[in-house]
Amino acid sequence: MINMTLMLYCLVLGGSYLLAMTLVLEFVGRALKITRGIPTELLEPSGPGIFVVTLIMEGLFFVAIPTMGYSFFAIALPLAGIRPAVALALVSFTLGAVPAVLGLSMRMRLSMPYLLYSLLGLLLKLGGCVVIIGYLYSL
């Protein structure tokens, strides 16, 4: 039986972590001037619209889909806990984000600090959200 209350807790806490981490990474990225050296025509203008769309997209992929996956597979598989959550985050990051960003780096001349900062941000967001979900399912 799927526990809807637990799913709601996962969505709220994972979304809160995602929002906080996104704000921190935006602040640190601006302080480090991470987009320096990238032509302005390649950069999307920063604003509240892009921030909200990115947050919704990341909320879907980093919080909602793992929450539903945990709720469906928690009955049959022992996925609850922090260790399986970290393993799941690392595997999905390695199979999903890394090839896409590395392929992008081969096709476009983007600065390596920008790409590495983007990868680090994605890993921190995904890892933190999945660890929160795994921890809540272990309670």
For residue range 77-127, list pLDDT tens digits in order: 776 677 877 887 888 888 888 888 888 878 877 788 888 898 899 989 988
pTM above 0.95, yes or no: no
Q: What is the pLDDT of residue 63?
A: 92
Q: What is the pLDDT of residue 80?
A: 67
Mean pLDDT rounded to a whole number for the chain:
86
Q: Is the pLDDT of residue 20 over 90?
A: yes
Domain ranges of the chain: 4-138
**Are residues 18 and 63 in contact, defined by beta-carbon separation less than 8 angstroms?**
yes
Q: What is the pLDDT of residue 12?
A: 95
Burial class (CB in 10 A: 0-12, 13-18, 19+), 63: buried
Of 120 and 44, the structure prediction assigns the larger pLDDT to 120
Tell me what percent of the chain is helix, strand and coil, each rounded to the nearest 5: 80, 0, 20
- Nearest partner of 24 among 99, 120, 107, judged by Cα: 120
In sequence order, the 6+-apart residues with CB closer than 8 A to the CB of 135 are 81, 82, 85
Can you tell me the distance from the alpha carbon of 16 to that of 134, in angstroms, rounded to the nearest whole number?
16
